[in-house]
Each structure stands twice: as C-alpha cells, then as structure tokens.
Structure 1
Amino acid sequence: MYVRALHLEDFRSWKSLDLELSPGVTVFSGPNGHGKTNIVEALGYLAHLGSHRVNSDSALVRENATASMISATAVNGRRELTARMTLRGHGANKAHINRTTLATTRELLGIVRTTLFSPEDLALVRGEPEQRRQFLDTIMIARYPRLGAVKADYDKALKQRNALLRSHAMRSALGGTLSEEEEAALTTLDVWDAQLAALGGQIMSARIQIVHDLAPHLAQTYQRLAPESRPAHVSYTSTIDGPLAKVGVHLGQSVPGEPTALLTPEVAEATLLHGFADKRSQEIDRGTTLLGPHRDDVILMLGTQPAKGFASHGESWSVALSLRLGAFFMQRGDGTEPVVILDDVFAELDSSRRQALVSLISDAEQVLITAAVEHDIPEALKQDATIVSVLARDTPDGRISELTLKAGVDDE
C-alpha cells in the first residue's frame, strides 16, 4: 500500500495542503514547530481514527476554524480509494470513502494503513500499562476491524459497571443504606458481568494472538537494530487469578523450548466470569472493576531484566522502535503492508543504528520521514528520496505552514 495524494484543510497549522506522493522514501524537512509532523499525524489519524499526540480532536482544528478536513488517496494493488474525514472541535465527525458518506467513522478503518513511530513511543517502554494496551489495541483494530466496535462496547459497559459499583461504595462509606432502586440496580451486576466477559474475552484473545505473532518480529528487528544488546522478548500478562495468571508471563512469549499458551475467546470469557464472581465483594467495597483487559499489560524484557527501569535511553528508544517495526513486518506477513512513518527518529540514533534502520526499511513500499535537520538522514536513504521542505509563517490569519521546496520538481 502507498498513499498517492494527501489533502488537508484547516488541519493544525495547515490552512491548505495538496501533496502528491509516490512509492519510496519522502522526507519532510524543516525546523521544529513548523508543521512537518502535522502532515504525518493527519495520515495516522485516518489510519487509526485518532492522533498519536493528543486525545482531543479540537486540538487538530486550526485556530479560528470550525472544522478541519483530511483526505488521502490510498493505492493497494489495483484498488484505489480516497478516505476523507471531517473533524469538528465540537460535534460528531463525518467520514467518506470516495463520494459515499459512511454511517460510522469506524468504516474508514483499513483504507489507509500506517505504522507510525514518534518520540512519544518511549512511553511504550517507560510509561504506564495504558500506553502498551493502546499499542496492542491499535494493531488489533487494524488487524481485526470488527473488534473496533467490540472495544467501544467494552469501554461503555465498563464505564456503566464502574458507575454502579462506585455509587454503592460511596453510599457504604458514608454509612448510609441503599434505596430499593439502588438495591435493584446492584442485582444487575450479573448482566454486566456477562456482557463484560463476552466482550473482554474477544479482546484478550485477539491481544494474546497479536503478542504471539509479534514476538519473533520484535526479537529479530531488535537484534538487527541493536546487535550488541541483550535479546528482546515480549509477553502478555493478565490480572485474572487462576489458570490464566499462572501462564500469564508466558502468554505470547517467543522463548525457545517453551510452549506458547494461546487463548480462545470462549476460555477467556469463562475465566473472566469466574474472576468477576470471585472478586465481587472486593469490587463492591472498592467501587471499581478490578480485572479484565483494561487492567492487563505487556511485559518487555531485555535478556532477563524488564526493559522498564533497566534499559538505557538508547536501548529504550531501540525497543520502542522495534515494537513499531515488528508490527510492520507482522502486518506485512498478514498480506497488508502499511505505510512506514518515522517521526523525528534519526536524531536519537547513533550512526550504526541509523544504518541498521535504513536496512530494515529498505524494501518498504512507502516510507515517510520527518527530520528537523536534513543531515540526520543517512546519505544512503537520501539518494533516492524526495525531500520536501516545510516552513511556517505568521499571518493575520494565524501561523500557517507551507511547502517551500520539493526536490526534483522544477519551480513554477
């Protein structure tokens, strides 16, 4: 897959952008804060229905504008489709494929596929479990688009179940008694348990399959990127007590000589139901759901030590990059090659790791790179790359980014 054209209107610092792209390497070069990352962020949004930098869509709408628009034409074999998203700071977004309006924005998933690495990805190694769960879920939804709706339904059910538990916990803490309506509401926990278990079982099963499939790609990619370092491993661990917890540290782990424990949705559902029943009194007392995929984690190891807390800055950077590139190679193996996006990555790599990265991405169909300093890009990569210069200027209408130069194209 590659993106042939990108059009932006009122997106971040871009009042308007019309950009023709081609297979191979394109480098967006320019000072920090001038809008080059905004270009790849827009493509990432179309691919994953969210920004890798902010949680709110309102930050993506240019100052003084009411809405922004992202449109990209993706070529996948002989098929060419245009995905378009209109973002509103307040209100519902709208999505289109070619000229067809979609009922939900989730129907846009799969038209544009990207693997995007950015400096924020250090949180995959050093951050909290939430970042690692989000990493898995992004791959999960790209790989199994129907699970996007499952994940959304799980989040809604979890929120409602927690509200019910929290209400009871607050009343108990104040020494009050529950009303008849509140007592009746509490009896619906069985219904919520069944719903969460059915949805959560599908999520856990898919995540574990992904970790299992990702593990060898992570190990191989990290070995190529940092051959002098310790071997890298990845595993999935769960908060569920019982049989799943006993094998949790080995779920999906690629370790020679050790069996891999994969989990069916049905077994995960049954295990979750058992866990909810076992933890019910604790959950009622604490006012929150104590187990499920929303509390699971991904464990990253270098040799025999956890990467979090033991990896150096360079190792952490390389592990995070290997996770993203490992996901790229895994998805390529699935038959759907994403566009590789590297946002400001070369500045943090020494010369040997830069060369290793060039070798890893050398046969990718399309690679988009941002760099504040063009000299950070290895010469071997620049030889056949298209260099696009990005600069911003201050205007009465706000700060606006512009393309100032495209290598290989005569000025008109």
Structure 2
Amino acid sequence: MFYIQKLKLINFRCYKDKKINFKPGVNIIVGKNAVGKTSLVEAIYCLSLTKSYKASRDSLLIQHDQPYYVLEGEFINKERSHSVLLSYELDKLRKRLLVDNNVIKKMSDYIGTFKVVMFSPDDSELIKGYSPQRRRFLDVYLGQINNKYLKDLSNYNKVLKNRNELLKKPNQNEQDLEVLKIYSEALVKYGINLITERKKFIEMLNPEVAKISLAISNETEKTELKYMPNVEKDDFLLKTFRQLKKDLYLQTTGLGPHKDDFIFEINGKDAASFASQGQQRTSSIALKLGLANLFDKLGMDNIVILDDVFSELDKERQNQIMQLFKEGKQIFITTTTIDSIHETLLENSNIIKIERE
C-alpha cells in the first residue's frame, strides 16, 4: 500500500507551523471557505511534483512577510517509510528537495517517485479552456509515468528558447544561420520523441476514460480524447526548414509540440462546442478517474485528491465514483460540510476538521 502518513507545513500559504496525520484509505478534510483545506492538498501535490498546480511561482506559496517555506512529508510505500522535504528560500531563489535525507539535484529525477492524481473545480477548463492548459496536463501526468519524457521535454524547451532568441537577433549572418540549422535539427529530434509519447499516452488513456464516462453516465455518454499534433513527426524536419523564412520574419518558432493540443469528444462530437456544463463536468471527472485507473493498471500506486469536487455531485453520483477507485487507495476529499457526503463513505473515512489558523 502507498499513502502519505504525516505532513508538516512551515510558512506555506496560510500555515505558520502545522502538523497533521493522515490514514490510508479516504481522508475527508472539512472546513469553511478560506481556512486552508486546499492548501493542505496543494502541499501534498507539491511534495509529489515539486511544484504547485495553482501558483505559477514558488514565491507565491510563502506566507506573507516570511523568507521561506518548508514542506515535510512521510510516505509509506510497501510498508517502508520515506521522508520528503521540499523548501524554497526567497532571498536566494533556491528550491531544495531531500528524499530520505539525500539531496536530489535534479527535480526531474524525482518526479514520478510518489504519484498523485488531482481533481479540482478548474478541471472543466481542460475542455473549454486554452491549449497550454491541456499541454500542461500531458506534461504533468505523462511525466509521472515516463521520466525520459521529462528529460526530452526539458531539452526541447532549452533548444526552443535558444532558437527563438537567435530568431530575434537582428541581421543574422551565415554563422547564425548554421547555428539555426543545428537548433532546428535538435528541436526535431526531441520533438519527435514528445509527439510519439503523447500519442502513445492518449492511446493508453482513452479506453479507461471511455469506460468510466459510460459508467457514470448510465451508458449514455462516451468520452474520448483526440490528439492533435501541431505537426506530424514524419514531416517535422522538412516543414521546419521550409518554415525558417517565416520564423525569421515572425521571430519565433511556429512549428512543434509546443503548439500541440487535444480535444474532448462526447459520442464523437467536440465537447467544447456541443456539451452542456454537466456533460463537461462528467467528462473531466472521467479523465482523472481514467488516469488513476491507468496508473493502477501500469502497477503505479498513486494518491488521489478530490478538491471541492463532491460539492456539485449528488450522493448517488459520489458513491458511484468512489466505487470506481481501486480498493485501498488513499483518497483526499475537501468539502465545506459533510452533510453532502454519502453516509457509507463517511462511515469508512478519516474526518479531519480544519479551522482558521
């Protein structure tokens, strides 16, 4: 079994110094709005992925007028205890990660060690929002499965940055054009790997999402993902060189997986255009449930976080969703009241009441 047993937060969000214990199985975190429920599950997410799913910068996670934050977690994996410490110092702009008291020099080497699947009220934006949100979804969850993908993504982004900087340089000479050719070839090399893995990931995920969307819609709505690469890998190199003149004019790289996208289809129709708000909600839940099930199928234990998701679901739908999770999985549910939670679920859960610090 895999779960987080202890969590300590120092200068993190609204918490000055907070220690809290969790149990395997379902943990329900109850409290009024703005008391720190989401901050607790955000801390668990950070310990897993080394960054927040909400804040764009680590400095935003530090409590007001404090110089740093520290998160400490104790994870149990196959009956063995592992400590994880994540900290960020504002004055040095330095993030540190220690696992079992060993310093991890590259965060990408750690990601995927302790996996988490996050449900949040913003998940519907994956359907109706902009493509960067969907690419981020691919990077976050594919990166937990495939560490090489993260390394290829890092290399791709470095090459892309260098190429764009050179495209902006005024009056390029012959040497600059030769360097652009080298950058273009490297971009295609790493980009092909990203396209290949994204396509494979969506192909693995689709059967799980389809199965769950049918289960929670009484067999009426089948959700599937359709990958839309910006460029096909077989044409990538040729099109990149054909595009060079245009890239020079626009001073940016116009082709590549940094412009990829995918769409949701419900019964073969584009969900963003045709689905109701309720259907979009069901599809986004099916996506994350399918993801958790895919992790399980691949033998990858994971923690599931349901942040303020049950508030919009009736008790029957809550129970239906919980039954789709693998038995014994650690699940966190945040809510303002337990009155809306199914009685059977409450009986078998660890209730944690949170009040303003």
Q: Same fold (TM over 0.5)?
A: yes
**Distance in 1 (alpha carbons) for counterparts of 2:47 and 2:281:** 26
- What are the superposed Cα offsets for residues 364-385 of structure 1, whole Å, 9 maximum, x if unpaired? 4211110012212211211110
Paired residue type of 1:324 = K
Range that drifts further, 332-341 or 82-91: 82-91
Asked if the contact 1:226–1:353 (Cα under 8 Å) also holds between the matched residues in 2, the reply is no
SS at match of 1:85: strand
Q: CA deviation at 1:357?
A: 1.2
SS at match of 2:132: helix
Paired residue type of 1:39 = L
SS at match of 2:34: coil
SS at match of 2:194: helix
Candidates 151, 158, 161, aligned match of 2:160: 158
Paired residue type of 2:9 = L
Change (3 A) 1:139 1:362: closer
Matched, 1:116 2:107: no
**Distance in 2 (alpha carbons) for counterparts of 1:280 and 1:117:** 41
**Distance in 1 (alpha carbons) for counterparts of 2:227 and 2:11:** 40
Partner of 1:306: 270
Partner of 1:3: 4
Structure 2: segments with no counterpart, 5+ residues? none
Q: CA deviation at 1:282?
A: 2.0
Partner of 1:318: 282
Asked if the contact 1:59–1:89 (Cα under 8 Å) also holds between the matched residues in 2, the reply is no
- What are the superposed Cα offsets for residues 311-344 of structure 1, whole Å, 9 maximum, x if unpaired? 1111111111111111110011111121011000
Matched, 1:21 2:22: yes
Asked if the contact 1:49–1:106 (Cα under 8 Å) also holds between the matched residues in 2, the reply is no
**Distance in 1 (alpha carbons) for counterparts of 2:50 and 2:238:** 34
Paired residue type of 1:140 = L
Paired residue type of 2:189 = A
Q: How many residues align?
A: 355
SS at match of 1:347: helix
Asked if the contact 1:27–1:370 (Cα under 8 Å) also holds between the matched residues in 2, the reply is yes
**Distance in 2 (alpha carbons) for counterparts of 1:227 and 1:292:** 39
Matched, 1:85 2:86: yes
**Distance in 1 (alpha carbons) for counterparts of 2:326 and 2:336:** 21
Asked if the contact 2:315–2:341 (Cα under 8 Å) also holds between the matched residues in 1, the reply is no
SS at match of 2:83: strand
Matched, 1:41 2:32: no
Q: CA deviation at 1:93?
A: 0.1
Asked if the contact 1:231–1:303 (Cα under 8 Å) also holds between the matched residues in 2, the reply is yes
Paired residue type of 2:320 = A
Q: CA deviation at 1:103?
A: 1.6
Asked if the contact 1:124–1:132 (Cα under 8 Å) also holds between the matched residues in 2, the reply is yes
Paired residue type of 1:164 = L
Asked if the contact 1:30–1:372 (Cα under 8 Å) also holds between the matched residues in 2, the reply is yes
Change (3 A) 1:373 1:78: closer
Paired residue type of 1:13 = C
Q: CA deviation at 1:79?
A: 3.3
Partner of 1:280: 244
Partner of 1:221: 212
Partner of 1:290: 254
Q: CA deviation at 1:362?
A: 6.0
Q: CA deviation at 1:301?
A: 0.1
- What are the superposed Cα offsets for residues 192-232 of structure 1, whole Å, 9 maximum, x if unpaired? 11111111112111111110100000001111122254211
Asked if the contact 2:124–2:284 (Cα under 8 Å) also holds between the matched residues in 1, the reply is yes
Paired residue type of 2:206 = A
SS at match of 2:6: strand
Range that drifts further, 207-216 or 43-52: 43-52
**Distance in 1 (alpha carbons) for counterparts of 2:52 and 2:75:** 19
Partner of 1:367: 331
Matched, 1:95 2:103: no
Q: CA deviation at 1:107?
A: 3.1
Q: CA deviation at 1:353?
A: 2.1
Asked if the contact 1:314–1:349 (Cα under 8 Å) also holds between the matched residues in 2, the reply is no
Asked if the contact 1:70–1:86 (Cα under 8 Å) also holds between the matched residues in 2, the reply is yes
- What are the superposed Cα offsets for residues 151-181 of structure 1, whole Å, 9 maximum, x if unpaired? 122112112212222345xxxxxxxxx2xx6
Matched, 1:201 2:192: yes
Change (3 A) 1:59 1:357: same
Change (3 A) 1:23 1:161: same
Candidates 338, 342, 361, aligned match of 2:306: 342
* Structure 1 residue ranges, 4+ long, deviating more than 6 angstroms after superposition: none
Q: CA deviation at 1:58?
A: 0.9
What TM-score do the two structures reach when normalised by structure 2? 0.95
Q: CA deviation at 1:182?
A: 4.5
Q: For 1:239-278, what aligned pairs fall within 5 Å after superposition?
A: 239-240=230-231, 244=232, 268=233, 271-278=235-242
Partner of 1:210: 201
- What are the superposed Cα offsets for residues 66-105 of structure 1, whole Å, 9 maximum, x if unpaired? 1111111212214321111112335120010111112223
**Distance in 2 (alpha carbons) for counterparts of 1:323 and 1:379:** 26
**Distance in 1 (alpha carbons) for counterparts of 2:105 and 2:288:** 31
Asked if the contact 2:86–2:96 (Cα under 8 Å) also holds between the matched residues in 1, the reply is yes
Asked if the contact 1:57–1:88 (Cα under 8 Å) also holds between the matched residues in 2, the reply is no
Partner of 2:130: 128
Larger radius of gyration: 1
Matched, 1:52 2:53: yes
Paired residue type of 1:377 = I
Asked if the contact 1:46–1:108 (Cα under 8 Å) also holds between the matched residues in 2, the reply is no
**Distance in 2 (alpha carbons) for counterparts of 1:364 and 1:218:** 21
